[in-house]
Amino acid sequence: MKYLMFIVFAMLTTGLSWLLMRPALNAAPEIDGGVKDLSSPAPKQISSKEITDINTGFFLYDKYTPSGQGRYYRFSVHRGEGGEFILTAPGVLNDAVVVDKITLEKVQAVVDRHGLVKLNGMDKVTQGLPGEYAPMYLYVDYASGETLGFNIDGNPDCEWGYELLSLFSQALAERGGMQLLPPEEAFEIERFSIEFNTGLISCAYGMLLDADKTLLIFRSEYDMAAQEMISEDYIKSAPAILTAVQDAIEKSGLAMLAAGMGTKYDINMPHTPDGFMDIAIDYKNGRQIYVQAEKDALPPEWEAVREQLRRHLDSVFN
């Protein structure tokens, strides 16, 4: 009888200790490199377009400063006591400004343009990622009672994040709040020189002054073997042309890739027949992008960047 009672007692204590050690059902362990998934079913369509409340946060690389580094931004729009919409940027500034419905309509346009409703209900992040990949989130309430909300791994190059940053920054600055971004003119290129050498053909783009002191944008192709010019094109510089060049730089990903590696990636080696890339871009706000390297010394991503940049630059002339 004593032996039987011992067996029962051992079974009970073993079972109890198993229960104590067993993790809670559906718990998501938070470990470096692990994934925490608390996603829940949510509608992937929202009928309302009338936003009443916004909370969002994201890390973005700073495309417009010499450092090329970034920061985490948070923005909130909520109803005030009088029914007005109040925009704040928690953790960045203490200012609170009143915005109109047009600002909220522009936010909805960003949601629609990037199809963000498809992320509704997602709450899935990877633990232990670098700071620039900290979770990014967006929570929106609508007048209809519908909601949009997600929390995902960050993307420091996120297009919708840049659009919201630009939108909220402009709204704050126009209403006397802190200016988070430089004025538009600070984004303009002051001068640039870009050369790609494939070993056989050298393609160059840049700016020069003609005899009449007129600023020109040029494109040329040079045959390295024959040592002769294949083609030359010149167009008179104008704000629209420089804007197109800037768009080409941004669309190719050059600015972000250079920022991710530092604003200067410089390998001072004699040029070889295998090809090289020389890029020097100066902005009016002091930001600079310099790249000088042999083809074989560049990371694999630069190959795609070079081809995209060349294609976009050619489109300026075409």
* Number of domains comprising the chain: 2
CATH code for position 290: 3.30.1560
Boundary of a domain, candidates 158, 181, 204? 181
pLDDT in single tens digits along all 318 residues of the chain: 444 343 333 433 433 332 322 233 334 444 455 899 999 999 999 999 999 999 999 999 876 554 557 889 999 999 998 899 999 987 666 678 899 999 999 999 999 999 999 999 999 999 989 888 999 999 999 999 999 999 999 998 888 998 899 889 888 888 877 767 765 555 678 888 888 887 788 888 888 888 887 888 889 998 888 889 999 998 887 777 777 777 777 767 666 555 544 433 333 434 444 567 788 888 776 767 777 777 666 667 677 777 777 887 888 887
* Same domain assignment for residues 167 and 79: yes
* Same domain assignment for residues 161 and 264: no
Q: Which domain holds residue 255?
A: 186-317
* Same domain assignment for residues 194 and 311: yes
* Same domain assignment for residues 39 and 149: yes
Tell me the DSSP string of the chain.
-HHHHHHHHHHHHHHHHHHHHSPPTT-----TT-EEE------S------EEEEEEEEEEE-TTSTT--EEEEEEEEEE-TTS-EEEE-TTT---EEEE-HHHHHHHHHHHHHTTGGGGTT-EEEETT--GGG--EEEEEEETTS-EEEEEE---TT-HHHHHHHHHHHHHHHHTT----S--GGGGSEEEEEEEEE-SSEEEEEEEEE-TT--EEEEEEEEETTTTEEEEEEEEE--HHHHHHHHHHHHHHTHHHHHHHT-SEEE------TT-EEEEEEEETTS-EEEEEEEGGGS-THHHHHHHHHHHHHHHHH-
The reply to whether 7 falls in a domain is no
* Same domain assignment for residues 159 and 196: no
The reply to whether 30 falls in a domain is no
* Same domain assignment for residues 140 and 204: no
